[in-house]
């Protein structure tokens, strides 16, 4: 008689372990070779596709304009009237971002309560299971469509209402937040809640006492991270015409008031820099989690100590939200008016059934391939930016033994780091719409300008993510090698290169998935791909084609997400 | 307190996890006021049996009657009414680390509080006499506003007992409450548990026969989900225990 049946499981697991194919050096080398070959193939194809246009690539006339723009950098517009406009626009952007984030949090909390297992007393039954499956599918669909596309759809129903900007941020961000919040809740220990329920507590009370306190640091931390992203989105949405810094930028670019462009760039960089610094301080106090964790899809660990900085920030955010609500003049009235209802019905009616855009499958297929090529080339640019700027932006922890040497090189390193971070900040704060407008001055519309614009923007984000990941990397192997007398350059090469290149690859793949989605932005301003086709068809109210394009974008981003996740898992295994 | 009648009555109570039977056709009656020691080797089903008694698990078959109510047929508010009369200290204590001690103690009263009152007490913490006297009874009067994760293992255990005191249950279930304590501390904790339900019923799983003899009136031995031993606690002897824990 055995006391326990557990030991019986053991042979099975040992068998599984031995059956796993052994990783040999040759296998690793082969895998790398095949991987590198595939990447080279895909990049080569994208390059060929982007370069094979009928006409010229470079617009020599635009070069002069770009020269004038660059010449104006020393002389930004500073007239009081214009500064007032900039300040107004900046406020509008902040208000949109704040209200959009708040909306996303409401959607996120509601969605997470349904999606998380931790909030249910019993394992959900068939009905709840079905509801959750449908909800999950809807959220994936909502997330796959870019904020800008949402904004365009909302504009066609609501007109140029501030509500458009708020909803365009709240809806897709809310879908993402619901997913992350559900993961956070599920990662928290569940037994206190079950214990409270077992002593007769009601569900809401048990969750408030048992689950929320454990999850709140991570939930708040994520909320602040979302606000950072929302600021950038609110700027991008300006191109639709709902106001804010993004709209002013587009206007100044169109009227070629280069001095104004620089003032606005400075405003955007300062705003986004301040929010980034504030938010990362709060997040650092609340939980051990970095941007790269949030975007890489892992939840961090809450910090034990209470931070008054974080608490005051939360209070400030709450007060700010109320102020933003009143300042914005956003009202729900537009949402429920008879006109909106009528237009919504008509829009839905127009959207269905889907039909091919003019030109048929070949145009649709061409645009899809353009979108992919653009995303690939954008990532090439972004990785280039990261490789050049990233190492400079990374704080290298000095080795304990040679303090003196570290002090000697400290000042120039600091200057380099601040400069590099500034470059990354500028790259990611200036919206891709503006990068695209600049690229379109010099390059004729097509895949290439879109890829350059998106690549510069993504480079700013990827560079920050990777630098952050590099900073938190374990340096003990390097220090151990140095202590063993290995020369410092060699030690760094051997101990630091493999893990840091691994991180670069992981985040590049992850950002690629987002980049595919982001091609919509540069498409809308005229580069190429599905986004451009979308904007063209929407502007002539060909809604049945719009539906097809939405479906195609969804398919492309879903496919790239699945593929990306596969590859990331294969690499980390 | 409700009319006399058994505090617990199991008839053919069975609980399976997949193809593993954790509690196997147990027939058992525990009368009010009895203090029962639950003994048995690891995996014998002690925790599962206790979970059946506070309805955090339902039996796969058979019935579980607790304080006169058939737990399998009850749901929602009717079930909560029974559950709030049953207090549990789990193997992991089930405290929330991130909140003040006060809230962990108040968690014992959530069954009697409305949702609004519960949330208010969480938002505006105010130590009322019930909480303070419960914490003083376990020697933690100073810790009302302390963060729970700062407390030591023994202090955390006494917070869990204070939670039980404010719940004021008629049936106390304790799952290995003294497994990590030295002998004199262990006896002290069992004394506190007895005080938590002066004339109620106590079911406690233990591995120490001398504590069972000292604090309990009845000893029940489980092996592979079956009751294999059931006699007055003072009849426990080394031979019986050797047989119960034997690795046969
Ligand atoms: N949630 C569960 N899922 C699957 N199997 C479970 C679950 N809970 C308990 N079991 C199994 O049921 C059996 C009895 O477990 P139980 O935890 O009740 O034992 P125990 O007597 O409390 O042991 P210990 O002294 O180690 O705490 C074990 O074989 C265990 O693996
Ligand atoms: Mg147990």
Helix (H) or strand (E) holding B231, with range, is strand B226-232
Neighbours of A439 (CB within 10 A): 25
Q: Mark yes or no for CB contact B94/A200 under 8 Å.
A: no
- Pick from A1, A4, A209: CB nearest B103: A209
Kindly state whether residues A313 and A448 are assigned to the same domain: no
pLDDT tens over chain B, length 248 residues:
445 678 999 999 999 998 999 999 999 999 999 999 999 998 899 999 999 999 989 999 999 999 989 988 888 888 999 999 999 998 888 999 888 999 999 999 999 999 999 999 988 888 889 999 999 999 999 999 988 988 988 899 999 999 999 999 999 999 998 887 788 888 888 998 988 888 889 999 988 888 899 999 999 999 999 999 998 988 888 888 888 887 55
Kindly state whether residues A436 and A301 are assigned to the same domain: no
Closest-CA residue to B39 (of B183, B206, B159, B168): B206
Q: Where are the alpha helices (DSSP H) in B54-91?
A: 76-83
Residue A391 lies in a domain: yes
Directed axis angle between helix A80-115 and helix A126-144, to 10°? 160
The residue that leads in pLDDT, A60 or A251, is: A251
ipTM score of the complex? Answer: 0.91
Kindly state whether residues A249 and A371 are assigned to the same domain: no
Residue-level length of chain B:
248
- Which CATH number characterizes residue A289's domain? 1.10.3720.10
Tokens of residue A23, six digits: 């990783």
Q: Mark yes or no for CB contact A202/B56 under 8 Å.
A: no
Domain that holds residue A248: 78-331
Kindly state whether residues A298 and A387 are assigned to the same domain: no
Q: What is the rounded CA–CA span in Å between residue A147 and residue A237?
A: 8
Residue A471 lies in a domain: yes
Decide if A301 touches B, using CB distance below 8 A: no
Residue A307's SS3 state is: coil
Kindly state whether residues A224 and A157 are assigned to the same domain: yes
Residues A446/A46, Cβ–Cβ less than 8 Å: no
pTM of the model: 0.82
Kindly state whether residues A365 and A327 are assigned to the same domain: no
Q: What pLDDT shows up at residue B95?
A: 92
Residue A446 lies in a domain: yes
Kindly state whether residues A214 and A131 are assigned to the same domain: yes
Residue A157 lies in a domain: yes
Residue A148 lies in a domain: yes
φ and ψ at residue A57, rounded to 5 degrees: -95, -45
Kindly state whether residues A365 and A236 are assigned to the same domain: no
Q: What CATH class does B7-85+201-248 carry?
A: alpha beta
Q: What pLDDT shows up at residue A406?
A: 53
Query: Which residues have beta carbons under 5 A from ligand 2 (an ion)?
Result: B 47
Q: Mark yes or no for CB contact A202/B80 under 8 Å.
A: yes
Angle at A539 between CA A535 and CA A543, to 5 degrees: 85
Best of A184, A205, A304 to substitute, by most chain B Cβ atoms within 10 angstroms, is A205
Q: Mark yes or no for CB contact A200/B80 under 8 Å.
A: yes
Q: Mark yes or no for CB contact A196/B106 under 8 Å.
A: no
Kindly state whether residues A293 and A430 are assigned to the same domain: no
- Pick from B51, B113, B247: CB nearest A205: B113
Tokens of residue B102, six digits: 């006060």
Q: Which residues of B touch A118 (CB under 8 A)?
A: none
Residue A494 lies in a domain: yes
Sign of CA dihedral A249, A253, A144, A429: negative
Q: What pLDDT shows up at residue A143?
A: 84
Strands B35-39 and B218-223, by their bridges, are parallel
Q: What is the rounded CA–CA span in Å between residue B238 and residue A430?
A: 79
Res A397 pLDDT > 70: no
Looking at the 3D structure of chain A, how many domains does it have? 2
Best of A198, A286, A302 to substitute, by most chain B Cβ atoms within 10 angstroms, is A198
Q: Which residues of A touch B118 (CB under 8 A)?
A: 201-202, 204-205, 208-209
**What are the tens digits of pLDDT across the range A250-280?**
888 888 888 888 888 889 889 988 888 888 8
Q: What pLDDT shows up at residue A300?
A: 61
Task: Report whether residue B20 contacts ligand 1, using a CB cutoff of 6 Å.
Answer: yes
Kindly state whether residues A499 and A555 are assigned to the same domain: yes
| Neighbouring residues of B75: CB distance < 8 A, sequence distance ≥ 6 | none
Kindly state whether residues A145 and A263 are assigned to the same domain: yes
**What are the tens digits of pLDDT across the range A487-536?**
777 777 777 777 777 778 888 888 888 888 888 888 877 777 888 888 88
Task: Write the DSSP assignment of A412-434 as a string of letters.
Answer: HHHHHHHHHHHHHHHHHHS-HHH
Q: What pLDDT shows up at residue B110?
A: 93
Name the burial class of residue B67, with classes exposed (0-12), middle (13-18) and buried (19+) by CB atoms within 10 angstroms of its CB.
buried
Residue A387 lies in a domain: yes
Kindly state whether residues A390 and A284 are assigned to the same domain: no
Most confident option among A69-73, A92-96, A284-288, A361-365: A92-96
């Amino acid at each position: 008689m055995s006391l326990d049946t557990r030991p019986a499981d053991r042979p099975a697991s040992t068998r599984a372990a031995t059956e796993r194919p052994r990783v040999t050096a040759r296998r690793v080398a082969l895998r790398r070779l095949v991987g590198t070959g595939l990447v080279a193939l895909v990049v080569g194809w994208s390059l060929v596709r982007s370069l094979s246009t009928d006409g010229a690539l470079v617009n020599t006339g635009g070069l002069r304009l770009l020269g004038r723009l660059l010449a104006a950098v020393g002389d930004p517009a500073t007239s009081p009237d214009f500064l007032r406009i900039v300040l107004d626009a900046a406020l509008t952007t902040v208000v949109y971002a704040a209200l959009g984030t708040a909306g996303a949090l409401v959607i996120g909390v509601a969605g997470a309560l349904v999606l998380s297992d931790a909030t249910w007393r019993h394992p959900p039954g068939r009905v709840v299971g079905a509801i959750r499956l449908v909800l999950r599918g809807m959220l994936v669909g909502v997330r796959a469509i870019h904020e800008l596309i949402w904004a365009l759809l909302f504009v066609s129903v609501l007109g140029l209402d501030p509500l458009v900007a708020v909803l365009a941020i709240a809806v897709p961000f809310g879908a993402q937040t619901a997913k992350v919040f559900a993961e956070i809740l599920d990662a928290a220990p569940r037994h206190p809640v079950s214990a409270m329920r077992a002593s007769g507590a009601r569900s809401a009370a048990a969750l408030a006492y048992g689950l929320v306190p454990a999850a709140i640091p991570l939930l708040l931390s994520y909320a602040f991270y979302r606000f950072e992203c929302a600021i950038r989105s609110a700027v991008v949405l300006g191109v639709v015409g709902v106001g804010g810094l993004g709209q002013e930028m587009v206007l100044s670019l169109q009227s070629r008031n280069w001095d104004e462009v620089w003032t606005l760039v400075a405003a955007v960089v300062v705003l986004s820099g301040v929010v980034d610094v504030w938010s990362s301080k709060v997040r650092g106090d609340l939980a051990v989690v970095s941007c790269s964790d949030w975007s890489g899809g892992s939840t961090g660990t809450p910090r034990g100590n209470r931070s008054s900085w974080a608490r005051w920030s939360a209070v400030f955010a709450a007060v700010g939200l109320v102020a933003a609500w009143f300042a914005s003049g956003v009202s729900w009235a537009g949402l429920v008016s008879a006109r909106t209802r009528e237009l919504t019905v008509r829009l839905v009616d127009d959207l269905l059934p889907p039909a091919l855009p003019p030109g048929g499958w070949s145009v649709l297929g061409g645009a899809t391939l353009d979108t992919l090529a653009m995303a690939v080339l954008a990532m090439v640019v972004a990785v280039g930016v990261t490789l050049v700027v990233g190492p400079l932006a990374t704080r290298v922890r000095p080795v304990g033994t040679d303090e003196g040497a570290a002090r000697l090189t400290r000042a120039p390193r600091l200057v380099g780091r601040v400069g590099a971070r500034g470059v990354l900040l500028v790259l990611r704060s200036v919206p891709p719409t503006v990068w695209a407008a600049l690229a379109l001055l010099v390059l004729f519309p097509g895949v290439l300008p879109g890829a350059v614009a998106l690549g510069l923007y993504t480079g700013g984000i990827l560079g920050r993510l990777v630098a952050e990941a590099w900073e938190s990397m374990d340096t003990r192997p390097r220090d151990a090698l140095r202590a063993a007398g290995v020369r410092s350059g060699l030690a760094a090469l051997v101990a630091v290169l493999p893990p840091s290149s691994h991180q670069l690859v992981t985040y590049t793949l992850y950002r690629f998935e987002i980049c595919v989605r982001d091609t919509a932005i540069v498409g809308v301003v005229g580069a190429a791909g599905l986004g451009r086709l979308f904007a063209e068809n929407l502007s002539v109210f060909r809604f049945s084609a719009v539906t097809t394009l939405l479906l195609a974008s969804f398919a492309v981003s879903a496919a790239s997400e699945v593929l990306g996740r596969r590859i990331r898992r294969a690499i980390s295994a | 307190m409700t009319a006399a009648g058994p505090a617990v009555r199991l008839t053919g109570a069975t609980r399976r996890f997949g193809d593993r039977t954790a509690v196997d056709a147990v027939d058992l009656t525990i009368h009010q006021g009895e203090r029962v020691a639950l003994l048995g080797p690891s995996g014998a089903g002690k925790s599962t049996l206790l979970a059946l008694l506070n309805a955090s698990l339902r039996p796969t078959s058979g019935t579980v009657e607790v304080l006169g109510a058939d737990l399998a047929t009850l749901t929602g508010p009717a079930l909560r009414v029974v559950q709030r009369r049953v207090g549990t200290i789990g193997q992991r204590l089930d405290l929330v680390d991130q909140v003040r001690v006060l809230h962990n103690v108040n968690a014992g009263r959530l069954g009697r509080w409305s949702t609004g009152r519960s949330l208010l007490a969480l938002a505006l913490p105010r130590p009322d006499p019930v909480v303070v006297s419960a914490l003083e009874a376990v020697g933690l009067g100073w810790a009302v506003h302390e963060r729970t994760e700062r407390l030591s293992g023994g202090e955390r255990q006494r917070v869990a007992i204070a939670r039980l005191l404010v719940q004021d249950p008629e049936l106390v279930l304790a799952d290995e409450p003294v497994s990590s304590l030295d002998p004199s501390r262990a006896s002290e904790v069992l004394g506190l548990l007895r005080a938590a339900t002066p004339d109620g019923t106590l079911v406690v799983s233990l591995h120490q026969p001398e504590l069972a003899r000292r604090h309990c009136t009845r000893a029940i031995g489980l092996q592979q989900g079956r009751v294999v031993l059931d006699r007055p606690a003072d009849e426990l002897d080394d031979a019986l225990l050797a047989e119960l824990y034997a690795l046969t």
